[in-house]
Structure 1
Amino acid sequence: MTSDLNTGTEAKPPPREAGVRPGRRPGARLSSYLRPARLGMVDYYLSVAVVLSLLPTSRQGLDGASLLTSAAFLLGEVCLVAAAVAFDDATGHRDGSDAVTYGPDAPARALAGKPLPAGTLTETAAIRFAGCALVAGALCWAAALFWAPHRPLWAVLALVATAVVVPQYSWGLRLSHRGFQEVFLAVVGWAFVLPLFGLLSGKAGGLAAVEAFLFGLGPLLFGVYSNTHDAEADRAAGRPTVACLLSPRGNRLFIGALSVVETTVIVTAPLLGLAPWWFPLAFVPLKATRARQFTVGMVRGDILRGRLLGIRAHRLLVVTLVAVNLLVAGSA
């Protein structure tokens, strides 16, 4: 290679790529920018699968407009979540909470998904990425509204509100720093199901409302384990999560209560005529996983293992919801 030859002239240092730390390979730039997006964490994005499986239960077909709307919604969802996470990374870098959680004194998680503490991306670049992702997400959702077969006012307003609120997690209004962290995790999940269902079907059915509620509880029921693990750093950064505000016993009771709420909704739905009689039976594997999650994470104290089981439980929930919807549609 010519760059390895001694030409007798002073070698000039390679130009630094904006936003990427010196010493990084040029090919690493894209991956450094994409890491804040957490594209491997698909749990919110599974909402589209739930919605598409719900359509036959409301006697709605899946035409070209519905597919275009769903695709644009999914892309917008990915972009908005990426913006929120990147803003959160920048905030965690500024207030020092990530240095505590991901520093040498707390090596419980790999730095691969945290480019700012790892030094592979600058704060300015992360904020620039977040801003671009936010604009892209808004444009995608505008396209979804344009292609949508139906535009009920409540669905349009919910979509606009979600696009405004999601980036405010730890930037702008900084909702997670004002005591709304747990509520935020659940509400975002609900908002990724019901508005899209309204755009595709023109209504919000009882079964759709139940499934949106259960879907939103999924990220919350593994997010509270992350909060338990990060309680010390969140407390130092002034982020008042339940794990920070309550005693360890109180936090365990809160997490157990969330699982009880999930069970109550599953059992009550058929009694209210919102789901078939066999609806609770379909969720027996999920509740067994929840019990194991609580035992491992809260009783045995393996918090991160409990979080992992919570992620698996949420994905099992999605599979269960899709299967239930297909069975309901098939028996209609």
Structure 2
Amino acid sequence: LVPLSLSPRTKQPIRIKEFVKRKNMGTLVGHVAPGFGFFVIGLWHLLNHIKLHAINPNSYKSLPWFPTSRLKYTELFLIMAGSSMSVAMELFIGPNRHQPFDPDGTIPSYHLRNFEHSNISMTFFVYAAFALILDRVGPKAQHGLTQLLGALAFSQQLLLFHLHSTDHMGVEGQYHWLLQLVIFVSLLTTLMGIGNPKSFLISFVRSLSISFQGVWLMVMGVMLWTPEFIPKDCYMNLEDGHQVVRCRGAESLERAKSLVNIEFSWYLIGVTIFAMLLYLALIKFYGEKDEYESLAKFEDHEEETDEDVEAQKKSKVNESKSFIYLGKGSASMDMER
């Protein structure tokens, strides 16, 4: 096994096998897994909002979550399952002793970030659980309360990433700072959606921001914890039980941060292009389908109208014939008299 670096604190080499096995939020898997979840949920919302708006542009009303045809609460169940797995990974599976506390019952400093990440997951679990309960009960304020719970989850996420125990001055801190911008957009659009449920643009931006959160989390996991992608003059270092990217000087650090900013810009452009192409494709598909259905209904209506006209003509002819017949009958009766 080849050591990746030597920690100045522990004087222990970080080995590749140890690197691969770490699966908490400070590793590749710990970022890619939740990132994929955010990406799927955001894309699911984006598809459904575009479809809903394409079919009903005049009567569009956003939904905080979307049911599926087979199992209505699939989305909420997936959020609760993913959140539960994240909490279990952070607090029980990831730690060496399979629990996050010291022998004296206190929280060690190197497990603070585990509690921070698990709190985010627990908040999303609360959102999904009460969204399901509210749908079952069906109160009048269901839409607003569900959106408020979503806003609370994003607020918790933004707060904990902003006050993260991880070093904000390094390369990872730059990734986190840019992530906070995307989370803020998700929070803002969720709050705006409470009072504007008929605004398609608010729902569109909200869904796109959730999906972009997932993309950026996955990018963060790959770029920060894959040795081949670490910026030049930077290296992996083991600090307080977590692997951190460190640079050899101020110039190297600034260069690494600039690369992160450029990377963020590229992905932002790419996600925007993808969203617009998806919108145009779905609008064309569902718009043509809706237009075809409207044309078919119009033709059916015309056929029904033609049939009604023909029926009216026939009834008039029959009435006229019966009138003539009655006239002839009355005339013959008069002649007999």
Q: TM-score, normalised by structure 1?
A: 0.38
**TM-score by structure 2 length?**
0.37
Q: Which has the higher strand share?
A: 2
Say which structure, 1 or 2, has more relative contact order (CA 8 Å, 6+ apart): 2
Larger radius of gyration: 2
